[in-house]
Structure 1
Amino acid sequence: MSDIQAQAANLISDLETYTVKDGLKIEERFFYVPLDHSKPEGSTIRIFARRSVPKDKAAKPKDEEKLPYVVYLQGGPGFEVGLRGNSGFAAELYKKGYQVLWLDQRGTGLSTPLSPETLPENVKTDEEIAAYLRHFRADSIVKDCEFIRKILLGDRTESADQKWTIIGQSFGGFCSLTYLSFYPEGLKEVFLTGGLAPLGNGPDPVYEALAPRVIKRNQIYYEKYPADVKRVRFIMGHLASHTVKTPNGGHLTPRRFQQLGLEFGMQGGIDSVHQLVLRSSNDLELFKKISYKTLQSIEQAQSLDGNALYAILHEAIYCQGQASNWSALRVTQRYSQFSWEAVQSLEDTEPVYFTGEMIFPHMFDDYANLRPWKGAAEILAKDASWGPLYDLDVLAKNEVKVSAVTYFNDIYVDFNLAQDTATKVGNVEQYITNQLVHDGIRQDAVDVIKRLLSISKREID
């Protein structure tokens, strides 16, 4: 164990432990890890992890060691994991005898949270900010996991007991494939939900595949709510001709309003967007402006101000030796109905399309808390020096069981690209469904976990 690992191990005695409703023991702790794992003696950041133990499976402390670990890797990038009780998919994992480690990935939640106002004092210029942010991708997240695994499990006698299982939701699945590429020896098993990441070197093929899926969701939206064609055009016209500020000082522009389409990939997302469209058009009819309450609702539906890392690194999560060059912007410019400037001159029966999980350079003007990172975002978009995220040779020879639930109608992780990945990674089995979308693990936790555990048995009829 290195000196820095020994330092982190000393924190094990510095725990906060409590019990929550429904019989869960909670342990919360911080680990100090290198900012740059290639420079272990350099500066450090803190990683927060919350361990949940079902007390009915471990009546005594010594029984806890017998429970297998599963580490939950959250979607994102740039989102934390809140305290989860004994419900949803967590409850299903507890029922199967797992203790769960809920990890706030570096830069999120309590893990040295990263936003424009929390940057280190010595990180000031755009170039310094960009260089700092390069340390917050999947490759570094996986190294954090391995660092923590060795502290928690490294002293166990049996080598099999030193491994843990991981479950990756969405971007957490991207991290899982990086984990399999470089540290498969630390893994007992891998579960993926909507997380069979594309294995290319850049985001262009991703957005080229996803743009038609986003268009299809727009068509479904307008078929369900045909009156919204004129409502949305009415709203967009108002936003184009007026300066509309959100409660926190951002700008609600037509292009920002279109970004509500991010919700189209979630269960009930189409209905949620309709409600915001209805409220906005109603306000304009009654008051000739959008009310504070509606602006607040729109702002709350868009989380980029509070999760700035999601915006600035989103295209970089696909990059290996290649620059992103604002891929989503370049791809969507091929489709006129993503452009209000193009649609407004057409008949009023022509819809303007909402965008999906896409990051654009103008977001760094429209969102108040992204503005300080505008210069760094431009630098990162032009950066072609990104290191490898996957090792295709290792993945092809993979022997760790990978069990995946894959969503046919996913507008965040393209189904066809996911199938291409499945052919390139050894020992992958899938349950494929068109009855759930990207948040299936939350919407039907019982079925999703049941399917994963069933696949894991590798029983063939």
Structure 2
Amino acid sequence: MATSVESNLETYTIKNGIKVIERFFVVPLDYSSPEGPQIQIFARHMIPTEKAKTPEDEAKLPFLVYLQGGPGFEIALQGNSGHAGEIHGKGYQTLWLDQRGTGLSSPVLPETLPADVKTDQQIAEYLSYFRADNIVRDCELIREQLLGHKEKPEDRKWTLMGQSFGGFCAITYLSFFSEGVQEVFLTGGLAPLVDDPDPVYKALVPRIIKRNDLYYRKYPRDVQRVREIMSYLQKNDVRLPNGGKLTPSRWQQLGIAFGGSGGIDGVHQLVLRASNDLQLFGKISYKTLQLVEGQQPFDGNPIYAILHEACYCQGRASNWSADRIVEDHFQFSWDKVQSADGNTPVYFTGEQIFSSMFDDYKYLTAWKGAAEILAKKTSWPPLYDLEQLSRNSVKVSAVSYFDDMYVDFNLSQDTASKINNTEQYITNQLGHDGLREDPKHVMQKLFHLSKREID
């Protein structure tokens, strides 16, 4: 059972009447060896004081666990606005989890590895325990710790809300621990039920191409600007503030922003700035390099890079799927584009992890050997139980985005058809970050779906 580190509990109240309890739990690294190495899990427990005036009132509030997008990103302190405010307004107390390996949950960084984890093989083995299957095991043990003492079985359940990769985790939870779940809310989180990332990337590449075409139609002068920037980066050893390499491939990776609100405009601003630097100074300025580095947080959140492809793997290897899939589309290759017509645009890439990132990013280089081992790993355990999902009785309410550049719409619809008791609100008016951009509307749709009212 998860051990709560009660001595570390700290409680305070933030603006708009939200009581915060900082909770730490100790759980097994490997659940098949519960007496082996342990790691720490951190979660912020938040209680709307307007809904609970006394400890007795607090105990009666239903629990909702928020599962963050990623993989490999922590969750910041929430206030009582945005989607957090909508959730608290419905009378939930909430738990905002730093998933294992992120934030305050035994963060995975080169300098924080256990002393006995040294070789590439040992590092790869250690990192293999930081996928969704173990994230949900952590949640389940924490649920037993916080709610297991409740007298009524229904009071021992909690509701899950998953954004993006958090939705993947929620579906894994439904596959193996549905008895602990009251209800599920998903936003852009209907995970492709695949065994490796190849079908995911094959489906997403046309969406990435579409966003590139939209970008260049909106900013046609950027065709030449980007080509000039790429040529400069190829000919020069350009270093970012932390020492990482700004290569043509890394510049293309700025396209990951295309899937979010304002992403196309944001990339244009960086292109315009870099192009202006080259015209005025013959080099890219420190400030521009600082802005580029700020858009690429993978040095400090390495799990995203190391396990992104593995988060789709069940019994199969990823074999650097993104590297292989983009080879079929020449405009993602600067070497091919520069030898083509001078007006041919080079495409930015999307939410894809490339093997070259472990050469270009300063603090990913230490993980290169382990990443190569994990890319060849075939013994990944199951993430989903299709039979269990087909007979699922827990309400699943999902907001799905028709033009989602990160979670392919068609694959998400296939998933929805395989999870019993799933209802959706589908829109092309919001992107993958709709929960952040229009939280009131999105949460209202989810709560309406939850009612299961049929006219």
TM over 0.5: yes
Query: What is the CA-CA distance between 1:364 and the residue it aligns to?
Result: 0.1
Matched, 1:187 2:202: no
Matched, 1:171 2:156: no
Query: What is the CA-CA distance between 1:61 and the residue it aligns to?
Result: 1.5
Corresponding residue of 2:66: 72
Task: State how far apart, in whole Å, the 1-side matches of 2:110 and 2:399 are.
Answer: 36
Corresponding residue of 2:276: 282
Q: For each residue in 1:393-419, what CA deviation from the matched residue of structure 2 results, as whole angstroms up to 9, or x when unmatched?
A: 000000000000000000110000000
Aligned counterpart for 2:292 among listed residues 290, 295, 298: 298
Note the 1:30-429 alignment, pairs <5 A.
30-429=24-423
C-alpha distance 378-150 of structure 1, shift in aligned 2 (>3 A): same
Residue type at the aligned position of 2:28 = P
Query: What is the CA-CA distance between 1:348 and the residue it aligns to?
Result: 2.1
Corresponding residue of 1:440: 434
Query: What is the CA-CA distance between 1:116 and the residue it aligns to?
Result: 1.6
Query: What is the CA-CA distance between 1:12 and the residue it aligns to?
Result: 3.5
* TM-score, normalising length: structure 2: 0.99
Residue type at the aligned position of 1:115 = L
Other structure's SS at 1:304 match: helix
Q: For each residue in 1:168-223, what CA deviation from the matched residue of structure 2 results, as whole angstroms up to 9, or x when unmatched?
A: 00000000010000000000000000000010101000000000000000000000
Query: What is the CA-CA distance between 1:117 and the residue it aligns to?
Result: 1.8
Task: State how far apart, in whole Å, the 1-side matches of 2:431 and 2:6 are.
Answer: 39
Other structure's SS at 1:206 match: helix
Aligned counterpart for 1:431 among listed residues 414, 417, 425: 425
Task: State how far apart, in whole Å, the 2-side matches of 1:274 and 1:198 are.
Answer: 31
Query: What is the CA-CA distance between 1:14 and the residue it aligns to?
Result: 3.9
Matched, 1:449 2:443: yes
Query: What is the CA-CA distance between 1:13 and the residue it aligns to?
Result: 5.5
Task: State how far apart, in whole Å, the 1-side matches of 2:318 and 2:7 are.
Answer: 44
Task: State how far apart, in whole Å, the 2-side matches of 1:372 and 1:243 are.
Answer: 20
Query: What is the CA-CA distance between 1:306 and the residue it aligns to?
Result: 1.1
Other structure's SS at 1:459 match: coil
The aligned length equals 455
Other structure's SS at 1:120 match: coil
Task: State how far apart, in whole Å, the 1-side matches of 2:377 and 2:282 are.
Answer: 44
Task: State how far apart, in whole Å, the 2-side matches of 1:294 and 1:38 are.
Answer: 48
Residue type at the aligned position of 1:347 = D
Residue type at the aligned position of 1:413 = V
Residue type at the aligned position of 1:19 = T
Residue type at the aligned position of 1:259 = Q
Task: State how far apart, in whole Å, the 1-side matches of 2:163 and 2:326 are.
Answer: 26
Other structure's SS at 1:45 match: strand
Residue type at the aligned position of 1:433 = T
* Structure 1 runs not aligned, ≥5 long: none
Task: State how far apart, in whole Å, the 2-side matches of 1:25 and 1:103 are.
Answer: 16
Task: State how far apart, in whole Å, the 2-side matches of 1:276 and 1:200 are.
Answer: 35
Q: For each residue in 1:128-172, what CA deviation from the matched residue of structure 2 results, as whole angstroms up to 9, or x when unmatched?
A: 000000000000000000000000000000000000000000000
Task: State how far apart, in whole Å, the 1-side matches of 2:197 and 2:211 are.
Answer: 21
Other structure's SS at 2:298 match: coil
Task: State how far apart, in whole Å, the 1-side matches of 2:71 and 2:424 are.
Answer: 24
Q: For each residue in 1:223-250, what CA deviation from the matched residue of structure 2 results, as whole angstroms up to 9, or x when unmatched?
A: 0000000000000000000000000000
Q: Which runs of 4+ in 1 moved over 2 A?
A: 11-14
* Structure 2 runs not aligned, ≥5 long: none
Identity rate, percent: 65
TM-align CA RMSD: 0.7
Other structure's SS at 2:311 match: helix
Other structure's SS at 1:136 match: coil
* TM-score, normalising length: structure 1: 0.98
Residue type at the aligned position of 1:202 = D
Residue type at the aligned position of 1:295 = L
